[in-house]
Amino acid sequence: MPLDKILSVTNAELDAIDMSFYRNKYSKSHSPEFSQYFDWKSGADHYRLLTYISNTLNGNTILDIGTFNGWSSIALATNKNNRVISFDVLQQHCVASIQESNIEYRVQNILDDSTNEELILCCPFILLDTYHECLSTLL
């Protein structure tokens, strides 16, 4: 993975990414917040960075652990040469409207199935984006 390229990206480069395609495609089928998150500048949210990472990688499988509303998987699927597999322990009904040929949604704990071990080990990028609030109770 071109880690140096990812680590050296600037806010100006991220802010130049055109996010309008996904915002326009999914704003009607998702909550009103969807379009605002995809409009935010870099540093306010992570969707521009995920889009950049997707376009930096090519021909890879990317894991998205914690599907929730599917927005991260949409950003990670920008590069159609990549495959995104998104895992969540709960069925997330909002992803039914996401029609991207390179995204696969799985309802399972990725760690509960030993056959996922090879998948985990071969992925150059894994987004761990699970239940955020539980961390704040530990601090």
Q: Nearest to residue 73, comparing CAs of 93, 97, 100?
A: 100
**Average of per-residue pLDDT across 110-134:** 88
Contact, 136 vs 13, CB < 8 A?
Answer: no
- The region of weakest confidence among 27-36, 48-57, 89-98, 105-114 is 27-36
Where would I find the H helices in 1-139?
Answer: 3-7, 11-15, 20-26, 33-39, 47-56, 71-76, 116-122, 133-138
Distance CA 96, CA 139 (A): 35
Cα–Cα distance for residue pair 87/17, rounded to 1 Å? 26
**What is the dihedral angle through the alpha carbons of 25, 30, 31, 32, rounded to the nearest 10 degrees?**
10
CA-CA distance, 35 to 18, in Å (whole number)? 13
Q: In the prediction, which pLDDT does 34 show?
A: 67
Six token digits for residue 82? 């990549």
Chain-centroid distance of CA 75 in Å reads: 5
> How does pLDDT run across 54-104, given as a tens digit for each residue?
999 999 999 999 998 888 999 999 999 999 999 999 998 888 888 899 999
